[in-house]
Amino acid sequence: MKIAGRITAEALMVAKDLIRPGISTKEIDTKIRRHIEKCGATPSFLGYGGFPGSACISINNQVIHGIPSERVILADGDIVKVDVGARYRGYNGDSARTFAVGKVSDKALKLISVTEQSFYEAMKVARPGNRIGDIGHAVEDFVISNGFSVVRDYVGHGVGKDLHEDPEIPNFGRAGRGVRLYPGMTLAIEPMVNAGSYDVRVLKDGWTVVTQDGELSAHYENSILITDGDPIILTDVNIV
């Protein structure tokens, strides 16, 4: 899991270094795939449920599951979400980031920052004895206090031999409710945060999820390990 996580994190760094106005999402996807395969792993997303890319690359009001394309060109002011998975010796890493393209609005920067910090608010309660509801409550409470909303139709999940495992991990909920956390659990916690309403819809391509009101959306995800103490982020370039 650590190796799968490190390769996943490195693939996101590859994407970060490529992101600039004028590049296509397909070129980013191609470089991500090359890196994952160079490391002796396979892209977890490629062919998963029929998905055609190695990464989900979603722009602006696209929430998740954007399909890489030569026709989709990043422009100054965009925000782009890159979601990557790498499978190594039968285990998966799963991680996502939202990147600013060139100079973006103050609102977009705040949305990106709040989404990232909401993940770390979840990390504070991702400890043995607590419950899944504590994670969702921590994310939602922080997001709402900053004037944004959390997507309800899509959630985090367990991760391991399968890319998506039980339990589901909503980014909302009641503290003290849900599955109890135990050492050894590996979870993908992934706040998806909208600048406007939490309502979303799926485009005709059957994959791309967009905000219903056209407002921006941001995404931040890591695979983590529940331990006897502090949780460990597995999708980290420095994990050993």
pLDDT in tens, 27-79: 999 999 999 999 999 999 999 999 999 999 999 999 999 999 999 999 999 99
Fold of 2-233: Creatine Amidinohydrolase (3.90.230)
pLDDT in tens, 141-200: 999 999 999 999 999 999 999 999 999 999 999 999 999 999 999 999 999 999 999 999
Q: What percent of the chain has pLDDT over 90?
A: 100
Computed over every residue of the chain, the mean pLDDT equals 98
pLDDT in tens, 37-46: 999 999 999 9
pLDDT in tens, 92-140: 999 999 999 999 999 999 999 999 999 999 999 999 999 999 999 999 9
Q: What is the reported pTM?
A: 0.97
Predicted local confidence at residue 240, as pLDDT: 80
Residue 169 tokens read as: 């991990």
Q: How far, in Å, CA of 5 to CA of 231, rounded?
A: 14
Residue boundaries of the structural domains of the chain: 2-233
pLDDT band for position 6 (cuts 50, 70, 90): very high
Q: How far, in Å, CA of 47 to CA of 228, rounded?
A: 36
Question: What secondary structure does DSSP assign to the chain, as a single string?
Answer: -HHHHHHHHHHHHHHHHH--TT-BHHHHHHHHHHHHHHTT-EESSTTGGG--SSEEEEETTEEE-PPP-TT-B--TT-EEEEEEEEEETTEEEEEEEEEE-SS--HHHHHHHHHHHHHHHHHHHH-STT-BHHHHHHHHHHHHHHTT-EE-SSS-EEE-SSSSSEEEEE-SS--TT-SSBP-TT-EEEE--EEESS-S-EEE-TTSS-EEETT---EEE-BEEEE--SSS-EESS-TT--
pLDDT band for position 85 (cuts 50, 70, 90): very high
Predicted local confidence at residue 29, as pLDDT: 98
Predicted local confidence at residue 93, as pLDDT: 98
